[in-house]
A and B are shown apart, each in its own frame.
Chain A
């Protein structure tokens, strides 16, 4: 059958009425605006806590403390990027992954930034993984926003790349005007300091998330780890590390181990 003949078979008045009704419905439809019910969109808070000495002394910005080499220092900034949170249960093999490209800048000068709120599938977990640093792709793909906004001061403007972790302050041991600055970055080749870290939970203290429940996890970040094991980074020897390279990599290898889950509280 020819196309024109087919067209003749269409009942024009009926078509018009259908068209009209459709348009009436579309035109008269109220634009739907759902007022957001303030609903909690998280059930796990990971709280990062700065400490100065393993297992005991909290680190306070502006307050003097000592590193493992008995070098006195006063931290003034302590911050780092984390992303790609993963929870797992090594017994059952169950794994839950959170959005990989959502970045958080943990900044101990801004307490809100030290609490990371996540929505996690209810389960019993005994391992936490996350990545410290900013993946290579985000270092080469131009202007970013939110946590990765270069206005956050964690970006090298003349040698493109993110400062993945920063520890700075003053120290009488420093030969550089009494200051020390560790701005650690590097995303390419041997200079890459991006690392996934694995945290084991304290004995008999798993993350036990029930439906409708909420848990809090406290993760210690030990500044002292920046200075030793495996590499000795004395403020007297290296007061300034502010570009990617061998030294930055060594500091990073030291701080990769600074995270310890202190405790988990499961509220049902």
Chain B
């Protein structure tokens, strides 16, 4: 009997002590940022970005989301990231060859859609950015885009109580600096994974192509897939696809980064996922429709010393081929991605 009582009393005291411990002031009842999973879609390779130095958390993601939609990252408050990266256009700028920036200026190039960014090695049409964490600094400081200064942005964030709270929640203390801002944006943008198109469902055996889509897919595999490699629909290389230089913009692409003649007029191969909703096309948005891009490949390519060898003889396509390809490309639209509330402007 005595033994039982000893056990009971001990247990009671033990629980009491645990309670005292739990109520200690230091841990204000908050267990810190909650880790989030980063699921890799079936068939995708390993991502380039690993989140090792910047763990993906709910609080970091939400902070990044707020930053992405906040105009205060720009000089006059009018140009958040989201002004050029619109969700309904898979985070490209819908129907704009070039986007609009500070003081009624155009951007240099067509804003690409943002999805599956964690699989990218280099960023921008010319690949000038070697790590996604530092990518936001380019539009943020470009005088024709957001036109802001990094220190100004950090000071604006520091002065805002909501941000003070959100940075603390995401990173454990109230320090607000450029690294943490960039980490948060990276968490948000890298979470934008698009892998739920009809194409993906067909691959998973959950849907079937129509005959025209299947014809298009077969053509795609033989004529396009070398550069627009599945499942990301890009091989992340830089190529000159025979688009003549615009004499007003004079954009020579990757040569601007490498200073090498052989990189003249080379631009990054864009992913074709969501292609039907990311119009217009090309690095300067000169093609207003997919059909005009197909026309370019079949009859418009300009020869030159750096033209991609695969395009020396153009890509012969009949009108039927173009129709089938178009039908297939439409199956790459991921409607659940563009309506995913997680990526929408926060309330």
A238 → chain B closest CB, angstroms:
15
From B6, B14, B134, B137, name the one whose CB has the most chain A CB atoms within 10 angstroms. B134
Contact of B151 among A23, A141, A151, A243 (CB under 8 A): A151
Interface members, chain A 225-254 (any B CB < 8 Å):
243-245
Decide if A17 is an interface residue (CB 8 Å cutoff).
yes
Decide if A212 is an interface residue (CB 8 Å cutoff).
no
Per the bound structure, the CA–CA distance linking A245 and B255 in Å amounts to 12
Decide if A175 is an interface residue (CB 8 Å cutoff).
no
Contact of A142 among B10, B133, B138, B259 (CB under 8 A): B133
Residues in A with CB closer than 8 Å to B124 are 158
A152 → chain B closest CB, angstroms:
9
A1 → chain B closest CB, angstroms:
23
B40 → chain A closest CB, angstroms:
20
Decide if B20 is an interface residue (CB 8 Å cutoff).
yes
Decide if A143 is an interface residue (CB 8 Å cutoff).
yes
Contact of B134 with A142 in the complex, beta carbons under 8 Å: yes
Contact of B259 with A16 in the complex, beta carbons under 8 Å: no
A1-29 contact mask (Cβ, 8 Å, vs B): 1 or 0:
00000000000110011011001101110
Binds A, one of B177-185, B214-222, B272-280, B297-305: B177-185
Contact of B177 with A157 in the complex, beta carbons under 8 Å: no
Contact of A143 among B3, B6, B151, B178 (CB under 8 A): B178
A17 → chain B closest CB, angstroms:
6
From A143, A158, A159, A243, name the one whose CB has the most chain B CB atoms within 10 angstroms. A143
Contact of A17 with B53 in the complex, beta carbons under 8 Å: no
Number of A-B contacts (CB under 8 A): 97
Decide if B17 is an interface residue (CB 8 Å cutoff).
yes
Please give me the residue from chain B that is nearest to A145 by CB atom: B179
Decide if A64 is an interface residue (CB 8 Å cutoff).
no
Interface residues of B, dominant DSSP: helix
Please give me the residue from chain A that is nearest to B150 by CB atom: A151
Per the bound structure, the CA–CA distance linking A149 and B21 in Å amounts to 39
Per the bound structure, the CA–CA distance linking A166 and B344 in Å amounts to 42
Interface members, chain A 143-157 (any B CB < 8 Å):
143-145, 149-151, 155, 157
Per the bound structure, the CA–CA distance linking A140 and B49 in Å amounts to 12
Please give me the residue from chain A that is nearest to B137 by CB atom: A157
Given contacts A27-B17, A27-B20, contact A142 B128 (CB under 8 A): no
B27 → chain A closest CB, angstroms:
11
Decide if A160 is an interface residue (CB 8 Å cutoff).
yes
Contact of B131 among A142, A151, A243 (CB under 8 A): A142
Decide if A31 is an interface residue (CB 8 Å cutoff).
yes
Contact of B14 with A20 in the complex, beta carbons under 8 Å: yes
Per the bound structure, the CA–CA distance linking A140 and B131 in Å amounts to 6
Decide if B249 is an interface residue (CB 8 Å cutoff).
no
Contact of A12 with B259 in the complex, beta carbons under 8 Å: no
Please give me the residue from chain A that is nearest to B24 by CB atom: A31
Contact of B129 with A31 in the complex, beta carbons under 8 Å: no
Per the bound structure, the CA–CA distance linking A28 and B183 in Å amounts to 38
B84 → chain A closest CB, angstroms:
15
Per the bound structure, the CA–CA distance linking A144 and B131 in Å amounts to 11
Given contacts A27-B21, A157-B137, contact A142 B3 (CB under 8 A): no
Given contacts A141-B131, A160-B130, contact A151 B178 (CB under 8 A): yes
Given contacts A27-B21, A143-B179, contact A150 B137 (CB under 8 A): yes
Decide if B7 is an interface residue (CB 8 Å cutoff).
yes
Residues in B with CB closer than 8 Å to A139 are 130
Given contacts A149-B179, A160-B134, contact A142 B6 (CB under 8 A): no
A10 → chain B closest CB, angstroms:
12
Residues in B with CB closer than 8 Å to A155 are 134, 137
Per the bound structure, the CA–CA distance linking A26 and B137 in Å amounts to 47
Contact of B154 with A16 in the complex, beta carbons under 8 Å: no
From B3, B6, B179, name the one whose CB has the most chain A CB atoms within 10 angstroms. B179
Residues in A with CB closer than 8 Å to B150 are 150-151
Question: 9 extra interchain contacts, Cβ-Cβ under 8 A, other than A12-B7, A16-B7, A27-B21?
Answer: A13-B7, A23-B13, A23-B17, A27-B18, A31-B24, A143-B183, A145-B179, A151-B151, A157-B140
Chain A to chain B: the 5 pairs with minimum beta-carbon distance, closest first: A142-B133, A16-B10, A143-B182, A151-B150, A142-B131
Listed by A's residue number, 8 A-B pairs whose Cβ atoms lie within 8 Å are A23-B14, A24-B13, A27-B18, A142-B132, A142-B186, A145-B178, A157-B134, A159-B129
Listed in ascending order, the chain A residues whose CB lies under 8 Å from chain B are: 12-13, 16-17, 19-20, 23-24, 26-28, 31, 139-145, 149-151, 155, 157-160, 243-245
